[in-house]
Amino acid sequence: MEDRTKVLEQRLDHMNSEIQHLHDSLEARGVNSRRVTDSLRGEVFQVPVDAEHKAKMLPICNCSVPHMRAFHASWLGFFSTFFSTFAPAPLAATLKKPSTLGLTRQQLQYGNLASVTSNIVCRFLMGIVCDKLGARRGLAFVLLITCPFIIGIAFVQDAAGFIICRGGIGIGLASFVACQVWCTQQFSKSIVGVANATAGGWGNLGGGITNLLMPFVFLAFMSATGDDDDLSWRLCFIVPLALHLFSAFFALSGRDLPDGNFSELEMSGAKQKSNAGLVAKIGVSNINGWILTITYGFCFGVELTMTNVASQYFYEYFGTSQLLSGMIASIFGLVNIFARSLGGITSDACAKRYGMRGRIWALWFFQTLEGIMCIIMGALTLKYTAPDLFGPDITGWVELSGDNQEAPFGGKWVPFNGTCFSKPIKHCGHLAVDVTDAMRNCGLSPLITGSKVVLAEPLSPLGDADDCVANSGMIGLVIFVMFLFSVSVQMAEGLTYGIVPFVSRPALGVISGMVGAGGNAGSLVTNSIFFLSDSVRTDQGLLDMGVCIVAVTLLCFLVYFPEHGSMLTPAGVPSCYDPQLIKPPADYRGADSMDYSNASMLADKGADKGEVNVVSTTVKTQNVVQESRA
């Protein structure tokens, strides 16, 4: 009898082991085979979750509430604000025309600065909002509050109005903080790096898509309005407005936390009411938070800067058309489709093998590589002559590219006598102009295949353009290096937010807001120092910015976690140092840490009063264990 009982127990253990293996296999495919439910509604999660009900998988094609709805609403909301903030950048050549706003190069730069600086304080405040009210409502709010500025920019009549509206639209970039906090609250720490990086990267795609799409949107409206360029650029802002409205209502359809919204969980007793003053003090007193704030300024801040200047750089230095300049510049943002996620994957992989120290080493390596690529991109063209934007006009002979304007890609340059058609340009400069009847009547009609052409200074012996950047043949190599530069930038961003969730859980929103604000502050610094002055070459600015990136990234060596160590020291060394200067109270848990034992007691006491009934964690855990052993 005892032998038979022993055999049955062995078979039962084997069966339980097989069932456990089956659960693990199904969970690896994104199936919640254990049928774990949330604690308020008793609804079965659509993805496998950990003990805190945070998702352990990232099934991209799933859009279920709460986890994947939060993921998709997060990146789409951030994408929308990125798109609207940088929508004017690829239209810069049109906005400079006297027939539109007639903006100067410096006024465009002030607009660029306004779009990224207005967001610095807003990102920090968004962190507090996320801790107090929830990332879902914070995201929807910032999407809606910026809509009046999107409408306003379509009606501005001068540079001041344009700059003010760009600043107002730029407030929307605070959505990034809500995006990262919401994903951190919904996904397990084993995959939080890739979840945050993918959501942030897809949101950053807005910069690349804007540079790529807006010139086509402009051309479509030009066709619809009979080539009215002033009306057409204004109508372009219908697109970002529609994105904002859709994204806001999509975000509101989600859920704050896996088990419910803030108000529901606070009513049940499972969640503490957040103390905005306390979390702000905890967040700003964390040294690691400040170090990451500074270093993030030189990866995300650099991306914002490049999104603003890249299109104009290729237009001025390489003589490409507005359309082609936007397409080339879009590469920098489009890389987000994979590179930021790659940074998150790298962070999680390094943590799995080397712990937190691996995450920090990976961040230092790829952000340093970013600086090196930036230096190379600038150095490639420094020996050539840059466009003289403030020198005397060149009259007489110019050159006309003969196969739809994409100089120097056309490869065939046709001398064109200024006595037939005259349009002043600058030394080594270029100018895209509409093809007129006068130009066609000069006998060049067979050589003109499009509606626009790019005028340029002729090569010797007719001119002095031999040493100009546009004629250097370097554009292909510059684009390739820019691609590598962008990959390392996005990876550094993903690697940064692979560390941020571990800095201070009680002040998760504030830390995320601080670091996010650092990105915008970094853009203010890099724009102002390296690209605002008209007397400094753009490629020289790139080289100097790269040197600065390498130097600032050395701060990673100062990041230290007492329980994990630093890049050079193990855990507990030095034992006398703690980066958290103001300690949170012992009983303070933070915005996404629940205590269902208290909630259960509260629910039992108030059941007769119709209060929310919450299943205790203990009971749920027992049910899950029993089900797995059944």
Q: In sequence order, what are the beta bridge partners of 413?
A: 401
Count of CB atoms situated within 10 Å of the CB of 21: 10
Q: What are the residues whose beta carbons fall under 8 Å from the beta carbon of 153, sequence distance 6 or more?
A: 88, 161, 162, 165, 166, 169, 237
Residue 410: the pLDDT is 40
Q: What is the pLDDT of residue 566?
A: 96
Q: What is the pTM of this model?
A: 0.81
What does 425-477 look like in DSSP terms, one character per residue?
A: B-TT-EEEEE--HHHIIIIIGGG--SSEEEEEPPPTTT-S-TTBGGGSS-HHH
| Calpha distance 566→575 (Å, rounded) | 12
Convert the pLDDT of each residue in 445-489 to its tens digit: 555 556 666 677 777 776 788 899 988 889 999 999 999 999 999
> Residues 6 or more apart from 422 whose CB is under 8 A from it?
395
d(CA 614, CA 598): 10
User: d(Cα 177, Cα 181) in Å, to the nearest integer?
Assistant: 6
Burial class (CB in 10 A: 0-12, 13-18, 19+), 6: exposed
pLDDT exceeds 90 at position 605: no
Can you say how many angstroms the Cα of residue 537 is from the centroid of all Cα atoms in its chain? Answer: 27
Alpha helices in 225-284 (DSSP H): 229-235, 238-252, 262-268, 276-284
Question: For the segment 12-26, what is each residue's pLDDT rounded down to a tens digit?
Answer: 887 888 888 777 777
Residues in the chain: 630
| pLDDT grade for 562, boundaries at 50, 70 and 90 | very high
Query: Would you report the helix, strand and coil content of the chain in percent, each value rounded to 5?
Result: 65, 5, 30
Q: What is the pLDDT of residue 423?
A: 65
CB distance 174 to 84 below 8 Å: no
The domain defined by 67-257+275-383+475-566 carries CATH number 2.60.40.1180: no
**pLDDT score recorded for residue 1:** 65
Q: Which phi-psi region, left, alpha or beta, contains residue 397 (left: φ > 0; alpha: ψ -120 to 50)?
A: beta
Task: Parse the chain into domains and list their residue ranges.
Answer: 67-257+275-383+475-566, 398-471
* Mean confidence (pLDDT) of the chain: 85
Of 295, 333, 345, 208, nearest to 559 by C-alpha is 295
Query: Strand pairing partners for 37?
Result: 44
Please check whether residue 503 is in contact with residue 284, taking contact to mean a CB–CB distance below 8 angstroms. Answer: no
Provide the 8-state DSSP code for 172: G
Nearest-5° angle of CA 597, CA 598, CA 601? Answer: 90
